[in-house]
């Protein structure tokens, strides 16, 4: 659906993106993360055709954005990180205005606006956008990006600055859009949201792609796994003890198997066996500080 091949973007002497190869598959959510200045927003802007790469090729829906960007843009929905609204318009007026820019027939525009306001839980359609909370404004901006029924959504920090409840609503809404067949690319600093909603994650550092894969594969190659056993015994044992339980932690499956055998043979009481894997945040911090 989206393919970047050897893409580099220079701003005078600053290399914002360097030799980037990246592919977004149809019907998936790809999250792009990285430090400030890593090249996330630049990459998204090149995907939607707002800026051109210095070198390399950007393709969306099999078409070169340099040659066919005008055609492709009718199938794109874009939400920038900063997306001010026309604050002297009501929500309904604002969305109707953009429906005309998208050249939607009036009946189709009303249908889309009603659908989006309902699904995004935006009941105050006759309220001025300038009087809305930040979360409600973000929802209006998302509705604007979806008005024309785009196949591809490109979202720059869709939950930036929002309260936790509104943030999770938007993240869950993105999952619903994916189930409808939308292809979504997003950048985010909230790594928990990225891990929760994205099918694959791309990590950028200083304009370069470090890794792009599923979380399972990223954990397997870059993360760690730790097992913890809690058990009870009347014997005095050389293990950490807390709240009446002995606790043993290790990444070695063989050690876990050996201890479980001892617990069984000695008829000790197994309280809990759990496993903890590296979160995306742990892996990200390590990659950024190496």
Closest CA to 50 of 102, 9, 106: 9
Over residues 131-175, the pLDDT tens digits come to 999 999 999 999 999 999 999 999 999 988 888 888 889 999 999
Specify the pLDDT at position 219.
87
Domain 2-213: CATH architecture, name and number where available: 3-Layer(aba) Sandwich (3.40)
Q: According to the CATH classification, is domain 225-277 in 3.30.1490?
A: yes
Write the burial class of residue 196 (CB in 10 Å: 0-12 exposed, 13-18 middle, 19+ buried). middle
282 — phi, psi (to 5°)?
-60, -45
Angle at 282 between CA 42 and CA 31, to 5 degrees: 35
Count CB neighbours of 121 within 10 A.
Answer: 11
Low pLDDT (below 70) residues in the chain: none
Residue 280 CA to residue 224 CA, distance in Å, equals 11
Closest CA to 218 of 157, 279, 150, 269: 279
User: CATH 3.30.1490 spans which residues of the chain?
Assistant: 225-277
User: Cβ distance 210 to 287 under 8 Å?
Assistant: yes
* Chain centre to alpha carbon of residue 136: 20
Residue 246 CA to residue 230 CA, distance in Å, equals 6
Count CB neighbours of 166 within 10 A.
Answer: 18
CA distances in angstroms from 24 to 43, 151, 192, listed in the order given: 12, 13, 21
User: CATH 3.40.50.300 spans which residues of the chain?
Assistant: 2-213
Dihedral over Cα of 55, 39, 48, 217: its sign:
positive
Residue 64 CA to residue 69 CA, distance in Å, equals 7
Specify the pLDDT at position 87.
94
Specify the pLDDT at position 162.
85
Residue 196 CA to residue 229 CA, distance in Å, equals 27
Q: Map the chain to HEC letters.
A: CEEEEEEEEEECCEEEEEEEEEEECCCCEEEEEECCCCCHHHHHHHHCCCCCCCEEEEEECCEEHHHHHHHHHHHEEEECCCCCCCCCCEHHHHHHHHHHHCCCCHHHHHHHHHHHHHHCCCCCCCCEHHHCCHHHHHHHHHHHHHCCCCCEEEEECCCCCCCHHHHHHHHHHHHHHHHCCCEEEEECCCHHHHHHHCCEEEEEECCEEEEEECHHHHHHHHCCEEEEEEEECCCCCCCEEECCEEEEEECCHHHHHHHHHHHHHCCCEEEEEEEEECCHHHHHHHHHHC
Specify the pLDDT at position 164.
85
Closest CA to 169 of 182, 184, 158, 178: 158
């Amino acid at each position: 659906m989206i393919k970047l091949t050897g893409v580099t973007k220079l701003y005078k002497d600053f290399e914002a993106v360097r030799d980037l190869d990246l592919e977004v598959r149809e019907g998936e959510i790809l999250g792009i993360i990285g430090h400030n200045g890593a090249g996330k927003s630049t990459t998204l802007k090149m995907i939607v055709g707002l800026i051109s790469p210095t070198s390399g090729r950007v393709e969306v829906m099999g078409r070169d954005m340099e040659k066919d960007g005008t055609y492709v843009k009718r199938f794109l929905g874009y939400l920038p990180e900063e997306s001010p609204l026309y604050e002297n318009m009501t929500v309904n007026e604002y969305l109707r205005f953009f429906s005309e820019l998208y050249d939607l027939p009036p009946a189709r525009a009303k249908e889309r606006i009603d659908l989006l306001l309902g699904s995004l839980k935006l009941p105050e359609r006759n309220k001025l956008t300038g009087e809305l909370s930040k979360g409600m404004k973000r929802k209006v901006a998302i509705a604007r990006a979806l008005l024309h029924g785009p196949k591809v959504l490109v979202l720059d920090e869709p939950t930036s600055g929002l309260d936790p409840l509104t943030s999770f609503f938007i993240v869950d809404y993105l999952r619903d859009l994916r189930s409808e067949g939308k292809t979504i690319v997003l950048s985010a600093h909230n790594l928990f949201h990225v891990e929760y909603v994205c099918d694959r994650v791309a990590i950028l550092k200083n304009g370069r792609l470090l890794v792009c894969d599923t979380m399972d594969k990223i954990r397997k190659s870059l993360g760690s796994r730790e097992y913890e056993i809690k058990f009870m015994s009347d014997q005095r044992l050389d293990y950490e003890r807390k709240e009446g339980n002995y606790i043993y932690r290790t990444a070695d499956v063989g050690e876990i198997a050996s201890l479980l055998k001892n617990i069984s043979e000695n008829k000790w009481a197994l309280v809990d066996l759990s496993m903890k894997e590296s979160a995306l945040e742990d892996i990200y911090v390590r990659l950024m500080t190496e």
